A and B are shown apart, each in its own frame.
Chain A
Amino acid sequence: MSNSEIEPTMRAFLSRNFFLDPGVTLGGQDSLLESGIVDSTGMLEIIQFLEEQFGISVDDLEVLPENLDSVVNLIQYVGRKRAAGGQAA
C-alpha cells in the first residue's frame, strides 16, 4: 500500500473515530493534539488502529509527535514502518 493509498484510510478513521465535523477538512500538517481532536485516549486509539489496520507494531519509543501528531506524520510513519517490515522506523 503506497502513501497515497494510506491517506484515505487514515482520514476516514480519524473522521469516524473522533466524530469530526464533516464540514471541516483536516489539514495534513494540523496537529491532532493542539487542535483538541486527540487526547490520551485518542492516542491509544490511533496506535491500536495503526497496529490492526497496517500490521505494524508501534514501539513505546516511537510514540512521538513527529510520528503520530498529524495526518502527514502518520502516513509517513506507517510508510517507513511498512518499508522496514514492521520494525522500528
Chain B
Amino acid sequence: MPFYPTVLDLDVAQEAARIRETIARTVRAEFRRKGAVVGVSGGVDSALVLALTAQALGADRVLALLLPDKDSSPLSALLGQQAADALGVATMTVDITPALTALGCYVQRDGAVQEILPSYDPTQDTLKIVLPTDLLERGSLNRYSAVVSGPDRPERRRVLTPAAYLRIVAASNMKQRTRMLTLYFEAECRNYAVVGTANKNEYAQGFFVKYGDGGVDIQPIQHLCKTQVYQLARYVGVPAAIIERTPTTDTYSAECTQEEFYFRLPFELMDLIWYGFEHELPASIVAQALDLTAEQVGRVYGELGQKARSTAYLRAAPVVIGPAAPQPALVGAVTRGASDE
C-alpha cells in the first residue's frame, strides 16, 4: 500500500455531501426526530458538526447548546456563538456550574489535587493535568502530572498518585456527563436527536467520556481524523477564528492543549503515522515519507496500540448474555403437539 504525506486528503465536497445525507436520513427517516441539538464548545469539531447538521436539516431545525462551567474559557462561548450566528442557528446557554457543584465535582477534584499538592488553592491557582509531550524523542510511558499556578504564585508540578489520578478523572468526567444530560433534556423537549462531535482521534484513542460526550445518537465525524476535520471545516466555512484556535481540553481552569493532555504529538504528524499504523505499514516507510526515523515512528505505533487496547472498554456496548438454555421437559408434561392431537 502506498504512503505519502497527502494520503489523508479528502474530496471535501463529496465527503460533506455524504455526511449531510447521513444526518438527514438518520434524523428524519430512521429516528423520526424533528431536528437536532448539538453541543457547541467553540472548537473546530463541534463547529463543523453544527454546520453540517444545519445544512442537512435546515438551520431552523437545529439548536446549538453552549454548556460552560466556571473553568471554561470565555473564548469558548464567544466562538461557539460565532459559529452558530454564522449559520443562523438558534443558541441556548446553560451554565452547568451549579449542577456540578451540587454533584461535588469541584470539591472531589480539588481535594484530590490537594492530596499531592497541599499548596493548591483553587481560588487563586489554575490547574491542568499533563503528559510528557516528547513522544517522538523518548518512548516514555504515560505518567500524568498536575500543574498549578496563579498570579504571583510559582508554577508547581507533581506526579499524580493512582488514587488522585482516578478521582480527578472521575470528577472531571461529571462535566461531560452533565452536558449529556442537558443535551438530552433539551432534545427530548423538542423531539430532537442529539448529534455528537467526536472525531476519530478522540474515539479510537479513548479521549472521550463514556456516557458523557460519547452518549449521543449520531457521530457524523467519528470516521475523520483531526486534520481531515480541518479540511472539511474550511470547506463548509467554519469561522477562521475557530479553525486557527489550538485544540484545548477546556476541562481544567488552566489552558491545556489536547497535545499536552492526551495525544502527545501534533495532529499533522499523528494522523499520518496513525494511517500507517492502521494499515500495518512498516515504520520505515512512514518514517521515510515524513522525514523521521523508523525508531520514532515505532514509538508512536506503540503508543497508539497501547491507547487503543487500554480504552477498548470505553467503546464497548454493554455486554448482554444470551437466552438461558430451555430446561428438559418434565416427565408427563403435556407438550403443545400432544395436546393439539
Chain A interface residues toward B at CB < 8 A: 33-34, 36, 39-41, 43-45, 47-48, 60-61, 63-65, 68-69
The interface residues of chain A lying within 8 Å CB-to-CB of B212 are none
A47 with B309, Cβ < 8 A, contacts A41-B165, A64-B138 known: no
Contact of A43 among B138, B143, B309 (CB under 8 A): B143
Q: Do the beta carbons of B141 and A60 come within 8 Å of each other?
A: no
What total of A-B pairs shows CB separation below 8 Å?
52
A39 to B306, CA, bound (A): 8
B310 touches A48 (CB 8 A): no
Q: Does residue B140 face the partner (Cβ distance < 8 Å to A)?
A: yes
Pick the residue among A34, A36, A43 that contacts B141 (CB under 8 A).
Answer: A43
The answer to whether B162 touches A60, judged by C-beta atoms less than 8 angstroms apart, is: no
Cβ of B3 within 8 Å of any chain A Cβ, yes or no, is no
Known contacts A34-B305, A36-B309, A36-B310, A44 near B138 by CB under 8 Å: no
Bound state CA distance, A43 and B142, in angstroms? 7
Q: A33-B306, A60-B159 are in contact. Are A40 and B144 (CB under 8 A)?
A: yes
User: Complex Cα distance A63/B143, Å?
Assistant: 8
B interface residue numbers (CB < 8 A to A): 132, 138-144, 159-162, 165-166, 302, 305-306, 309-311
Task: Classify the interface of chain A: helix, strand, loop or mixed.
Answer: helix
- Residues of A with C-beta under 8 A to B139: 64-65
Task: Evaluate contact between A69 and B162: CB separation under 8 angstroms.
Answer: no
Q: A36-B309, A36-B310, A41-B165 are known contacts; what are 11 more A-B pairs with Cβ within 8 Å?
A: A33-B306, A34-B309, A40-B310, A43-B141, A44-B160, A47-B143, A60-B140, A60-B159, A64-B138, A64-B139, A64-B141
| Residues of B with C-beta under 8 A to A47 | 143, 159
Q: Which 10 A-B pairs have the closest CB atoms?
A: A39-B310, A44-B162, A40-B142, A45-B162, A63-B143, A63-B141, A43-B141, A33-B306, A36-B309, A63-B140
